[in-house]
Amino acid sequence: MIVNRALKPVSYLVIFAVIFTLFGFRVAHPKSGLRSAAGDASTSIVAFKHSNSYKVGDKVVIRLDEKAKSPAIGIVRTTDQQAVVIQVGDIAIPTTNQKILGKLIGVFPFIGIIFNLVGQ
């Protein structure tokens, strides 16, 4: 009986995660990037969805060359056919669309603190 009580919420969470993934949504724990009133990017979990086109002002999740700061949250500042400039914090980073993981859908603050503790 107790096992059933514990498994029911876990099974709902697994079903939700599978459906979330099937619709193309992904979740990441950013290591750097934009800050909000709710805290630093590294203390959050973000939901994003891959896209083939980005426009100025889009908030995105990007893969950086520096592994300690990747992935990061940034804002598209300029874009053309070949390159995109993303503002990550105080730095503008020229990159390609291939390094952009997707458009930011939501930020879930403070959940990332758990991942920071487990990762140390």
Per-residue model confidence as pLDDT tens digits over 38-87: 666 677 888 899 988 889 999 999 998 888 888 989 999 999 878 899 99
Strands (E), the chain: 25-28, 32-33, 44-49, 59-62, 72-79, 84-88, 91-95, 100-109
Report the phi/psi class of residue 110: left, alpha or beta, with left for phi > 0 and alpha for psi in -120 to 50: left
Determine the pLDDT at residue 101.
92
Domains of the chain: residue spans and CATH: 27-119 (2.10.109)
Determine the pLDDT at residue 1.
52
